[in-house]
Structure 1
Amino acid sequence: MPSSVSHPVDDPARPGHDLVVVANRLPVDSRTLPDGATEWVTSPGGLVTAMESVMRTVDSGAWVGWAGTPGQQPAPFEADGMSLYPVRLDQEEIERYYEGYSNATLWPLYHDVIVAPVFHRTWWDSYVTANRRFARTAAPTASEGGTIWVHDYQLQLVPRMIREDRADVRIGFFNHIPFPSVELFSQLPKRNQILRGLLGADLVGFQRESDAQNFLAAVRKLLGYHVDGQTISVPGLGAAPVREVVAQTFPISIDSTAVSALTEEPELRERAMQLRRDLGNPQHVVLGVDRLDYTKGIRHRLKAWGELLGDGSIDPRETVMIQVATPSRERVEAYQQLRDEVELIVGRINGDHSSIGRAAVSYQHRSFDRRDMTALFMAADVVLVTALRDGMNLVAKEYVASRPDLRGVLVLSEFAGAADELRAAVMVNPHDIDELKAAILRALALTDEEQEEAMRSLRHQVMENDVQAWAHDFLQRLEHSGAPDRGPKPTVRLSGEDITAPEDLDASLRTFARTPRILIATDFDGVLAPIVADRDAVAPDPTALATLRELSEMPGVAVALISGRALGDLDSHARMPSSVVLVGSHGAEVGALPPWMQAEVLDSAALSMTPEKDELLASITENLRRIARAHPGVEVELKPSAAVLHTRNARGRGSHNATESALEYAVTLPEVTVTPGKEVVEFSVVHTSKGAAIETLARASAADAWLYLGDDVTDETVFGRLEQADMGIKVGDGDTAASHRVAGTDEVVAVLARLAELRRES
């Protein structure tokens, strides 16, 4: 992607994109020009290099990622025909989510603990928060039935978070780094949450077959899910249906045609020759190109090189080594230490073996652009890829693509993913310094005929299996994985915290009030009454209750309270007249109906308890009480047909941990409706919802339209059923399918008063 001045996205509300890529970083970095305009230039890194050409082939593509600087993110913009949606990260999140959990916890653990991973619970909290922000940015950008492709270890929770909002899209995840053995992965705190996050995808892709098998083994052992070959059966919460998730190998590649084409440019050919002249026209140039990372085996390589010079196997006047070490994660302590060690080793080698005007090791601690890097590859007789553990290593493939002359030798670690494909390379175990030294000497001694034979094989593999083929294979497999569910999750109408403009809300209320027969329904906690820690101390607004009573006496108006509270509990706190219908336990309990309401519409038989349901409820209650005992402050409420885990008063991290335990338990209950809410998880042995309840009440009251006020996740089952004449009012913030939003309970009082006023006038 060439540099370009950015342009804002013309219409953020336009229909979404067919393909949305979600990665930790945007594919560009910003640079301020002298005139104040912003120029965006391509970011370094394997993922950007791999995906850049793929995104060019998509009719409607978007990329969601962090813009690279802390603080407020820029607005969505377009660069080179791609829509870019920046995600905000503040400085503390960069330190905890990115430098901490991603790169000091996950990275070393996933790379076979070359460096010991560090575990901090606050890092995990930031990881969850950041992943949710990525998910909330990505979910609304995809078109109906579109595809969202999430990338890499920094965003392992995102697939599940997106699925919670967008059941209609296909979700893929690709892990660019290794996935550890189950024995290593089991050391990770919150390991099950990571697995469940990944299993939100329809397809989980890996670089090597061993990585896919490690993931399948972890799912089988730690979650206990059924695995058949590459297919995992993921149970839904309670009665939700089982989903199938596929784990498969897709070795990533490069835009090999573009790299190979660069070598035909006379300017680059001259640059490659000039590089050799600048080095004194040595007989051999040996090259290492890596991010400065402890997984790349740079220290092992330099140790072997130093010993070869020391024992006279290599003459520094005839053979020169270039080591490019691209700066990486320089705020992370392990990387600071590595840089110091590498520079110390290079200094020692050069001090012992360099001659005046020629260094034994030319050390370059900086980034090179693609053209300069291609020139380096063209100049190199041998490239050393000695990774101790690597998901793929695209340097190996870039070198091969840069050698249409069929010259050069690739020395390749057997622990790099590329080793599975590039079998004609000189293979080496970099942990064995003697073997590494022998491999370097063998590479330097290969004849032109031997080089040509090996490089011809390597180029066939790289040129035939380029990044476009990789992306095509992944997306084609994703297209045939899973089955998007277009029913349960409503489309988000309102996101974030923006309040409906007063004039717009009033206009909608005026239209609704003129409807001949209406149903007005509302949740209780968080709508008519502020949420409090002690459920028994709830204090509903007396003006709101009085207005509802007044509305219930008006001709053509039906009024109902629909709450998650048990019916008796709701009745004792609301104290409403018989003209107001009370619905408890999310619709499982219905109070007395006014005489004019058609009671026969309510199918009471479906709500009745049986001895089997009583026994199941008792078992659920005991298990929830066991969870509560393990987390002080957590409480269990028993309803006629449900048990509820309340975590609002939990101490410390108990709320999150108890909720996770409850959700893990939920997948073992195929006959139960499980409803997570605000610091509650309800287990109902009667299958119902607030949405089903309001539809039943609307039929029973013969309403032409209904209005509902709600604040909780459980209220989305109502908002998702809105028809054109209905009104849904979300109380508080959060993404919602409601058509309108007000700030809090004070505004609810005003809405009800205005509705009563308009109804009297109609």
Structure 2
Amino acid sequence: MPSSSPVQHSSAEHEMVVVANRLPVDSRTLPDGATEWVTSPGGLVTAMESVMRTVDSGAWVGWAGAPGEAPAPFEADGMSLYPVRLEQEDVERYYEGYSNATLWPLYHDVIVDPEFHRGWWDSYLAANRRFAEAAAPVAAPGGTIWVHDYQLQLVPRMIRDKRSDVRIGFFNHIPFPSVELFSQLPKRNSILRGLLGADLLGFQRESDTLNFVAAVRKLLGYHVDGTTISVPGIGAAPVREVQARTFPISIDSATVSELTEDSAIRARAEELRRDLGDPERIVLGVDRLDYTKGIRHRLKAWGELLDDGSIDPHDTVMIQVATPSRERVEAYRQLRDEVELTVGRINGEHAPLGRPAVSYQHHSFDRREMTALFMAADVVLVTALRDGMNLVAKEYVASRPDLQGVLVLSEFAGAADELRAAVLVNPHDIDELKAAILRALAMPAEEQEEAMRSLRHQVMENDVQAWAHDFLQQLEAMHTPAGDTAPAVLLTGDANSAPEEVEVALRDFTAMPRLLIASDFDGVLAPIVDDRDAVVPDGEALAALRELSDLPGVAVALVSGRSLADLDRHTTMPSSVVLVGSHGAEVGALPPWMQAEVLDKSALAMTPQKEEQLAEITRTLRRIARAHPGTEVETKPTAAVLHTRSAKGRGGLNATEAALEYAMTLPEVTVTPGKEVVEFAVVHTSKGAAIEALSRASAADAWLYLGDDVTDESVFAELGEHDLGLKVGGGDTAARLRIADTDAVREVLQRLLHLRADER
């Protein structure tokens, strides 16, 4: 049972961060009302548990298993655990819906028809963003983030957008379908681009790797060399190389094998045989109750063997362990009903007095009980119709150091690629499955020993530690993408900085001799509105800026994504306030005392080629806007901007996705996604570069900047020791302080005015 305590560490310190749908522990309420955490079942937890023990500073990000408010971060067994909040609607739509009723059946060869609901996609997108936002800030600079499985396929790109300094790996524990099946998936390209945010993508089988690469080549059109994919950046961002490789997952095989030496477990294995009436042969199936596992096919084959007398139920008994799984999903409820009816019919027709023909166990077993079952079983049936790996096969092999027992293994399970000495079978062919069972039951001891020796060599030499080491070693060797390193995230969430902390920072700032005070416009000096032309800035905030610009040693600037003319029209600022439009591409008149020669305008010149390129971009964005009512295109001297704030229904998300896909075809254009906008600039500029130039031109000893948007992060990334960045509103940021809204901005500016006036 893991011990737990609150996380005492600060954020952004862990060398390795695992991101998975579930935390590796489940909560349990004690009789006194206290909560304890116990290790949860599941292949991923079993696989990663021993790996995380070897990491000096490891963290795990995942859902704690109950809807509603997430517990505070805590430690358990030396790991820092960061719970992610999922509401009941998220569980129903993101997890049970899109993950398990859309992706799971599609990725498993449509054994059950997948369901496609656009609302489920919205929840999947939102939940993935929540996982990414929880994971990004807890990784150390240059650390590793390892994302797991099909529920979180958008997370790699979301993390990369926030933390380009970290290495990102993704491992897919289930099959990846052929391009013909994958092409049926709505939002298929979004899934591919989400996955390609990783540096290294791992799959269970070579066929899965090749399926993924084929989908990227056909659906995205990216250049592929073997399994190396060239991923274009957005606009002028550099091309990245992403590797897709095969890493068959395994188990902690030494620990499983050691359990067989435990006298209590040995005694339990013997007791299990006695409880079943000491049959000559025990046949065992161990599965989650899932339609991919082939339980119905297996029971059909077993029933027919009993019907035709090939198996005597007095001599041979079958145990079917079916661990409960996703029972809120209709397909799983139907499966349970069918399995229980079939088991009842078989026992009703064939069970001897006092002994079942099929002992059906619809509950989970702990590791010790499971080892005893494996030791008692003469034959284990792993006959999945489609499976990424299937660790039950490897656990059975690891549980048989006596070199006895027979593994019947589906050729459609990933384990079949490695465990070639098993009795391989096509579980869709009931006659072949029946023959394989009879062959396994009749296999001589010496043949069992020969096969099991080969199987154990494979499983014991290639354990989960080797799997993880191989993946992480190849991820470590991956070349870190060129380009600017994303600034460290200093603040996450929505909580505002303490007022006394803001007050101290403002006092320290205003004490500097020469200051630059700069601000974004929309969302900072003026509330965001749907109609951009109807914006109304806060008059008192603008008045404070005007008065600040008249004080000695103070330079004031407004830096906006709006065009210079638009910014001037809405603010009517005096010439003492510098206006910077189009994210720095347009600079208004400078006060006479400012060193104009410091501002290098040569890079802003428009050439005929750039004019032509801008016209083509504008035409394309207008085509996108026409396809998504409510979106509109704004033109600037050096840029075109797609605005989605007024889009109807899902149009904003879809238009943004189309614009970003188009951006990948424009290697010489600076593309800046913002709050419900995407800007395409044919001249490379940024707010950060503009503030840096203004700071030099005004000879400022320190500067302060107020911003609310992702485009303002380029400013916060430039913060020096004495500079001050204030993020307005929620979201991850490199700013050191956060304030609430435009009202708080007004108060900050008025306080600056008061403090600076007192200084003089």
After TM superposition, the score normalised by the length of structure 2 is 0.99
Please state whether the residue corresponding to 1:145 is helix, strand or coil: strand
Residues 674-753 of structure 1 correspond to what in structure 2 (within 5 A)?
A: 674-753=671-750
**1:249-398 superposed matches below 5 A:** 249-398=246-395
Is 1:8 aligned with 2:6? yes
Cα distance, 1:546 vs structure 2: 1.5
Does residue 55 of structure 1 match 2:52? yes
Aligned mate of 1:146, from 124, 143, 146:
143
| Residue of structure 1 in register with 2:37 after alignment | 40
1:167 is aligned to 164
Match of residue 652 from structure 1: 649
Residue 85 of structure 2 corresponds to: 88
Please name the residue that 2:612 is paired with.
615
3-state DSSP class of the match of 1:149? strand
1:488 to partner: Cα distance = 3.6
Q: How big is each residue's C-alpha offset from its partner over 1:21-76, in whole Å with a ceiling of 9 and x where there is no partner?
A: 11111111111223333221111111111111111111111111111111111111
Asked whether the 8 Å contact 1:346–1:363 carries over to 2, the reply is yes
Distance 2:585 2:146 in 1: 39
Contact 2:154/2:194, CA 8 A, preserved across alignment: yes
Residues 530-563 of structure 1: per-residue CA shift (max 9 Å, x gap): 1111111111111111111111111111111111
- Separation of aligned partners in 1, 2:697 and 2:191: 46
Q: Which of 383-392 and 56-65 deviates more?
A: 56-65
- Give the secondary-structure state (helix, strand or coil) at the position aligned to 1:4: coil
1:484 Cα offset (Å) = 5.3
Distance 2:608 2:2 in 1: 69
SS in 2 for 1:627: helix
- In 1, Cα distance between equivalents of 2:295 and 2:116: 26
CA distance in 2: counterparts of 1:342 and 1:62, whole angstroms: 39
Matches of 1:542 and 1:257, distance apart in 2 = 71
The answer on 1:201 being equivalent to 2:198 is yes
- After TM superposition, give the deviation of residue 476 of structure 1 in Å: 0.2
Measured after TM superposition, the shift of residue 485 of structure 1 is 5.6
Counterpart-to-counterpart distance in 1, 2:441 and 2:125 = 49
> Does the 8 A contact of 2:26 with 2:65 survive in 1?
yes
Give the Cα–Cα distance (whole angstroms) in 1 for the partners of residues 11 and 480 of structure 2.
Answer: 25
Q: Report the Cα offset of residue 502 of structure 1.
A: 1.4
Structure 1 match to 2:404: 407
Tell whether 2:535 aligns with 1:538.
yes
SS in 2 for 1:496: coil
| CA distance in structure 2 between the partners assigned to 1:122 and 1:199 by the alignment | 24
- Secondary structure of residue in 1 paired with 2:704: strand
Contact 2:11 2:138 in 1 (8 A): no
Cα separation, partners in 2 of 1:233 and 1:573, compared to 1, 3 Å: same
C-alpha separation between the residues in 1 aligned to 2:502 and 2:404?
Answer: 72
- Confirm or deny: 8 A CA contact 2:12 2:137 kept in the other structure: no
- Matched with 1:104 is 101
Could you tell me how far 1:527 is from its partner in structure 2? 1.0
Q: Distance in 1 between matches of 2:509 and 2:521?
A: 22
CA distance in 2, matches of 1:81, 1:341: 43
Is the Cα–Cα contact under 8 Å of residues 109 and 184 in structure 1 kept in the other structure?
yes
1:573 aligns to what SS in structure 2?
A: helix
In structure 1, give the amino acid aligned to 2:6. Answer: P
Q: Secondary structure at the match of 2:446?
A: helix
Aligned: 1:580 with 2:574: no
1:376-423 deviation digits (Å, cap 9, x = unpaired): 000000000100000000000000000000000000000000000000
Residue equivalent to 1:190: 187
Q: In structure 1, what is the equivalent of residue 68 of structure 2?
A: 71
For 1:282 and 1:501, locate their aligned partners in 2 and report how far apart those are by CA, in whole Å.
72
Q: Please tell me the residue identity of whatever aligns with 1:663.
A: L
Which of 446, 449, 454 is the equivalent residue of 2:443? 446
- Report the Cα distance in structure 2 between the residues aligned to 1:739 and 1:276, rounded to whole angstroms: 66
Q: State the alpha-carbon separation in 1 of the partners of residues 497 and 449 from structure 2.
A: 69
> Are residues 1:601 and 2:601 paired?
no
Partner of 2:319: helix, strand, or coil?
strand
Counterpart CA distance in 2 for 1:504 and 1:286 is: 68
Aligned length: 759
1:563-592 per-position Cα deviation (integer Å, ceiling 9, x unaligned): 101111111111111111111100000111
The 3 A distance-change label for structure 1 pair 668 and 15 is closer
1:367 aligns to what SS in structure 2? coil
Q: For 1:416-471, what per-residue CA distance to the aligned partner results, in whole angstroms no more than 9, with x for missing partners?
A: 00000000000100000000000000111110111001000000000000000000
> Could you tell me which residue of structure 1 aligns to residue 518 of structure 2?
521
What does the per-residue CA deviation read over 1:299-351, in whole Å, with 9 as the maximum and x for residues that have no partner? 00000000000000000000100000000001000000000000000001001
Take 2:549 and 2:289, find their aligned partners in 1: how far apart are those partners? 71
Q: Write the distance in 1 (CA, Å) between the matches of 2:648 and 2:385.
A: 43
* Alignment-derived partner of residue 216 in structure 1: 213
Distance, in Å, in 1 between the alignment partners of 2:730 and 2:454 is: 59
Distance (whole Å) between structure 2 residues aligned to residue 267 and residue 542 of structure 1: 79
Residue number in structure 1 paired with 2:455: 458
Contact in 2 for aligned 1:518/1:706 (Cα 8 Å): yes
Q: Counterpart amino acid of 1:701? A: S
Q: Quick check: 1:168–1:485 contact (8 Å CA) kept in 2?
A: no
Q: Which amino acid aligns with 2:4?
A: S
Contact 1:523 1:711 in 2 (8 A): yes
Q: Distance in 2 between matches of 1:100 and 1:90?
A: 14
Q: What secondary structure sits across from 1:205 in the alignment?
A: strand
Contact (CA 8 Å) 1:148, 1:172: kept in 2 or not? yes
Following the alignment from structure 1 to structure 2, what is the Cα–Cα distance between the partners of residues 251 and 390? 12
Quick one: percent identity of the two aligned structures? 80
Residue 349 of structure 1 aligns with an amino acid whose one-letter code is: I
The amino acid that maps onto 1:598 is Q
4+ long deviations beyond 3 Å: 484-488
Change (3 A) 1:363 1:127: same
State the AA in 1 paired with 2:285.
Answer: G
C-alpha distance in 1 between matches for 2:22 and 2:179? 29
Assess if the C-alpha contact under 8 Å between 2:2 and 2:39 holds in 1: no
The letter of the residue matching 1:9 is: V
1:288 aligns to what SS in structure 2? strand
- Partners of 2:579 and 2:589 within 8 A in 1: yes
User: Residue 672 in 1 paired to residue 669 in 2?
Assistant: yes
Whether contact under 8 Å (2:237, 2:483) holds in the other structure is: no
CA contact 1:168–1:486 (8 Å) conserved in 2: no
Letter aligned with residue 499 of structure 1:
N
1:728–1:738 contact (8 Å) kept in structure 2: yes
Matches of 2:742 and 2:718 in 1, distance apart?
A: 23
**Distance (Å, rounded) in 1 between the aligned partners of 2:7 and 2:573:** 51
Letter in 2 for 1:756: L
1:121 aligns with 2:114: no
Tell me, what secondary structure is at the counterpart of 2:633?
strand
Determine the C-alpha separation between the residues in 2 that align with 1:425 and 1:678. 56
CA contact (8 A) 1:637 1:645 kept: yes
Distance 1:339 1:306 in 2: 17
Q: CA RMSD in A?
A: 0.9
Equivalent residue runs for 1:220-235 within 5 Å: 220-235=217-232
**477, 484, 502: which is aligned to 2:499?**
502
In the alignment, structure 2 segments of 5+ residues that lack a partner are none
Secondary structure at the aligned position of 2:123 is classed as helix
TM-score, structure 1 normalization: 0.99
Q: Match of 2:389, as an amino acid? A: M
Structure 1 residues 549-588: aligned runs within 5 Å: 549-588=546-585
User: Are the counterparts in 2 of residues 6 and 38 from structure 1 also a CA contact under 8 Å?
Assistant: no
